Amino acid sequence: MRVGVIGGGTMGVGIAHRFAANGAQVVIVDIDLDMARSAVQRVADTLDRAVERGKLNPDDLDRILANVDAAGSIEELDEGLDLIIETVVEDVGLKRTILSAAEKRDSKVLASNTSSISIDELAEPLERPERFAGMHFFNPVWAMHLVEVIKGTATSRGTLDAIASMVEFLTMDQALINDSPGFATSRLGVLVGIEAVRMVEEGVADPQDIDRAMRLGYRHPMGPLMLGDLVGLDVRLKIASHLATVYGERFEPPELLRTMVAEGRLGKKSGVGFYDWTSGSPLPVEEA
């Protein structure tokens, strides 16, 4: 299997890692070759940590890395790849531009990792929308089991069958969702997440107790506020704001979330959000 991954951020690196670990030949594309090579290095860093923890055989590290290459432009991708998937930020114009360029490489399947934008909206400039669908992965991709597959109005049965085979190749499961902004996971996840922020804003409980309630009461693997910190509060704000334009005030971001993002308190990537991450592990902000 041959795959092109456009975007060398967290999700692009994770998707490339997962495909390469399962034997696919992967090329990561970014805005220039140095950025793409940096993304490949982040795959290597993740593998190194897995070896250190005893989760990966050192021989497998070399095998996986041999499957990952870098490119500085979409035009450098081979024609006829099994899949090209874009993983850039949630910006309709940017994604459309990238997808239009990627379509010219004539891959069997063209996909977006968008977590919130309508697949039909992204497909508007495409000449062959029947080959296009959403493939929404979750972070960390190497550890997760789900791909949310989004069927656009024009998405063909053949495209969906090809994606189902890819998901099986990745030893993952899929949830097939008809196109609507936010799909299933973001509509549910963002709604819970922003309500948790609103509860902090209203003084209902502190972040740790809200998260504890969801972990122990509903058996969620982590609470919505810690998850927001891991995803990035700026990302959560952007998705909620987009969904609010579609579905109305129930998705309207709380003022606390806007304030935290404006102040640079974005979660793990900035060092502090609802938790303090500066020690490497999440601590209550007042205890850090």
The domains of the chain are located at 2-178, 185-272
pTM recorded for the entire structure: 0.91
The fold of the 185-272 domain, in CATH, is N-(1-d-carboxylethyl)-l-norvaline Dehydrogenase; domain 2 (1.10.1040)
Report yes or no: 28 and 12 within 8 Å, Cβ to Cβ.
yes
Residues in the chain: 288
Q: At what angle do helices 10-21 and 33-52 cross, to 10 degrees?
A: 60
Is 140's pLDDT higher than 90?
A: no
Extract the tokens encoding 271: 């060092």
Is 4's pLDDT higher than 50?
A: yes
What CATH number belongs to 2-178? Answer: 3.40.50.720
pLDDT tens digit string along 148-171?
999 999 999 999 999 999 999 999
Mean pLDDT of all residues belonging to the chain: 96
Given strand 2-6, what is the order of strands in its sheet?
68-71, 25-29, 2-6, 83-86, 109-112, 132-136, 146-151, 173-178
pLDDT of residue 288: 45
Task: Say whether 185-272 and 2-178 share the same fold.
Answer: no
Q: Please state, in angstroms and rounded to a whole number, the distance separating the CA atoms of residues 133 and 33.
A: 27
* 287 confidence band (pLDDT: 50, 70, 90): low
The residue among 180, 66, 200 whose CA lies nearest residue 115 is 180
pLDDT of residue 281: 84
Q: Please state, in angstroms and rounded to a whole number, the distance separating the CA atoms of residues 100 and 123.
A: 9
Q: Please state, in angstroms and rounded to a whole number, the distance separating the CA atoms of residues 272 and 268.
A: 6
